[in-house]
Amino acid sequence: MLKLTPGQHIHLIGIGGAGLSAIARILLQRGFSVSGSDLRPSGVTAALQDEGARIHHGHHAEFVDGAELVLMSSAVAAEHVEARAARSKGIAIVKRNAFMGPLLEGYRTIAVAGTHGKTTTTSMIVHILQQAGQDPSYIVGGTMGNTGKNAGIGTGQSFVIEADEYDNMFHGLRPKIAVVTNVEHDHPDYFLTAEDQLRAFAKFAELVPESGALVACSDESGALDLMNTRKERKLSALSYAIDDAAADWRATELAFSENETRARIHRNGVFLGSLVLRLPGAHNVANALAATIVADLEGVGFEESAAALASFKGAERRFEIRGIRDDVIIVDDYAHHPTEIRVNIDAARARYPRHRIWVIWQPHTFSRVREFYSDFLSAFDAADQVLITPIYAAREEPIPGISSPVLVESMADHPSARFAPDFEDAVACLRRDIAGPTVVLICSAGDANRIADLYLESDDR
């Protein structure tokens, strides 16, 4: 079994990514020697370097020299030059699903899984527990607005972690408490079918011990199935919902304004009080419900959780307002699945009913576009204007017949869907055609968030 000992030199291939950068930060804080490589410099790699990591830009065989263990991102191919070099030198190579168990050994693990909402829900749990004085350790898939970090070591016994399903990373966890927000098919390059993904989540839920608890959203069929399976075994499982009146915890009477979202919270039919969130959307009320249940299991009462959530600032690239200029609100969101795009448009409509809604969409991976093609075509129906940039390939090669211009042609029924061949063209379109009051929602799991900077920094309107 893999053993981790402070002082070891661990090299991370793909250290600038969301998953590995958080792990690197934990390793540094625990006294490991950390090196890592990534294709190009970024704010993330610069911050890690400031914290003590040795950062290499590009990828070369000699970067693994001196390492005792190599941790490889799920996006890195097995024949990567550094992986080959490590094997030739007899250095052990692991992926996250083999690494996380040893990393979290000795902690009470709280793991948040789901196709959508896990970054925000994880961040909310961390924030509540911090405000309650429990000082958990944590790994989140995005930078928290309240801490300015995506990971940290605390003095408490709990470790709150975003449980990524890609490459079955979450199978390496042993959660005392597991949250499942939903189980909708995604990552078709890894989970070829929805059934494959559901089986992976079922295995994750089975990792929760008899003495632990599963928290699941009963408004969503996949999560509901996991909860019912656990209840059939007479094991602890708690449901939360907005629509399901039979849920253990429920939010009702949701109300939206430009500055806040409100809801009334009930447990087993008993009114507990109201939640006030800075974040928009019914989906974030559901995320807050899940976080409140976890906090309750950790001994934090509802009133204390509600007070903490009122000061929760969200996470980077999760409906993050990047700036406002001439009554044009620029919002950056990681949405890259049809469901995520729809709920973000709905959230924008609810929060800003006077505003027109522009969406700039950077499709993420060819396989995802192909798998959910028809769903993507209808995902923008509630938007006034849509700009589609070239597909962000990530780890994939192009698929014939799958391209952004073809997507635009297929959206002929939309009143305004256009192709922007590059970010500069998208910015030029905004400068030329936009007028307030408008919300510009940038939906991208790639690098299209740069459009926000280009638009807000320019004086040439």
| Catalytic center residues | 118-119, 162
Distance CA 282, CA 291 (A): 14
Rounded Cα distance, 204 and 174, in Å: 9
Contact 249, 293 (CB under 8 A): yes
Identify whether the C-beta of residue 361 lies closer than 8 Å to the C-beta of residue 389: yes
Q: What would you report as the CA-atom Rg of the chain, rounded to the nearest whole angstrom?
A: 22
Side-chain-facing half-sphere of 50: CA atoms under 13 Å? 6
The enclosing H or E element of 356 equals: strand 356-362
The CA distance from 222 to 299, in Å, is 28
| Pairing relationship of beta strands 249-256 and 237-241 according to DSSP bridges | parallel
| Residue that the structure tokens 């049809």 belong to | 338
| Alpha-helix residue ranges (DSSP H) falling in 4-140 | 18-29, 43-50, 81-88, 96-103, 118-131
* Tokens matching residue 373: 């093609």
Give the separation between CA 239 and CA 221, rounded to whole angstroms. 12
**How many Å from the N-terminal Cα to the C-terminal Cα in the chain?**
60
Q: Which amino acid is at 210?
A: E
Amino acid at 154: G
H or E stretch covering 71 = strand 69-72
Distance (Å, rounded) from C-alpha 132 to C-alpha 36?
A: 35
Structure tokens at 307: 């007070």
Beta strand residue intervals within 107-233, DSSP E: 108-113, 137-139, 151-152, 158-162, 177-180, 213-217
Strand-strand pairing, 328-333 and 270-277: unpaired
* Sign of the alpha-carbon dihedral angle for 410, 412, 416, 418: positive
**Bridge partners for 13 per DSSP:** 37, 72
**Number of C-beta neighbours around residue 85 at 10 A:** 19
* Interacting residues of 78 by C-beta distance below 8 A, sequence separation 6+: none
Residue 264, phi then psi, degrees to nearest 5: -95, 135
Name the pairing type of β-strands 261-267 and 270-277. Answer: antiparallel
